[in-house]
Amino acid sequence: MQPIDPVKLTADLIRCPSVTPEEGGALILLQKLLDDAGFECSRVDRAGISNLFARWGSKGAAKTFGFNGHTDVVPIGDQTAWTHGPFSADIVDGIMYGRGTTDMKSGVAAFAAAAIDFVATTPPDGAVILTITGDEEGDALDGTTALLDYMERENERMSVCLVGEPTCPNEMGEMMKIGRRGSLTCWFEVTGKQGHSAYPHRAKNPLPALARLMDRLASHELDQGTDHFDASTLAVVTIDTGNPATNVIPANCRATVNIRFNDLHSGASLSEWLQAAADNVASEFDTPVTLKIKISGESFITPPGPLSDLIAKSVEAETGVTPEMSTTGGTSDARFVKNHCPVVEFGLVGKTMHQVDENVPIEQIAQLKSIYERILKDYFA
């Protein structure tokens, strides 16, 4: 059997227009490839979202290495702004262009190719599981969570898992993610009474209350960081009144904040704090303040140990770079996997993800496959 070319596989996946929630042919392509390689595959579709589970080896094996990734991509934006077709996978001067080249069809191609070649050449005493979703870039309600629910029902188990998201800021090999901050978004609305701006005493202006609340939240220091996390942050991301008139006091106004929090907090504790702050301002200004909160994920960490050591050793062997253990960045599906087994993220340089003319040096794709294959060999050694 010829080794799987991860560059060709990446290009084939790029040509599948799998903008969330469309499957676009990407999982069909991967399932055929994995079926032919002896993996037992199951589609785990839920609520219109396509997902793929694949296992080589026996269910319930004492050692089972898992990979997780996604084939869905964000929208392309203005197609005329692209130098190369967003689904063309054009290669120019060693650079492949296309939506998903960085985030993260290259990562999926690399770990699928590594897994197939590994079990073909050195069949391990254990199992290899691939969980691939089409819902990471969307609401993430029916993607990796559906796969984990399926695994629970079917008594499938990963001992450890590597998520192939792009993790390196500038140089291949420089960073792995051993955890992630939590993420919470809160929408506020302050309700007053509309009136003429020349007669403010006849109205109830909601804007001063909202301004006071936003100032208090933005000025508050949540913490100074922990051993493995930077300080938590709160950003006011929008303030809206929808009022074009200069002689009208509006009836209501809205604002939204986003919090990225470390392990000193939980979604629940921050929700209580936000509610108390809103209640205080409502009392001070005698005007109703309502809020709606969405917790996208809690903070988590896989403590440095065997899994991070295994990945660091393999990365250094292939790149000459020792990866930093980090918890920076946004959320990923690792926030779901951490409830199942220890999880670490490692992948490509992510500088162009979600951008126009997203791209990846093809040498990095091949390098990533080599890293993943070495990780598998060392894990089952």
Residues annotated as part of the active site: 72, 136
DSSP state of 125: S
Place of tokens 């998520």: 163
- What is the spatial distance between Cα 259 and Cα 172, in angstroms, rounded to a whole number? 29
Q: Amino acid letter at 243? A: N
- What is the spatial distance between Cα 162 and Cα 137, in angstroms, rounded to a whole number? 18
- What is the spatial distance between Cα 243 and Cα 174, in angstroms, rounded to a whole number? 48
In this structure, how many other beta carbons lie within 10 angstroms of the beta carbon of residue 242?
Answer: 9
- What is the spatial distance between Cα 18 and Cα 67, in angstroms, rounded to a whole number? 20
Q: Tokens representing 371?
A: 């890293």
Q: How far is CA 25 from CA 19, 51, 154, 282, 359, in A?
A: 11, 12, 26, 52, 21
Q: Tokens representing 378?
A: 């060392």
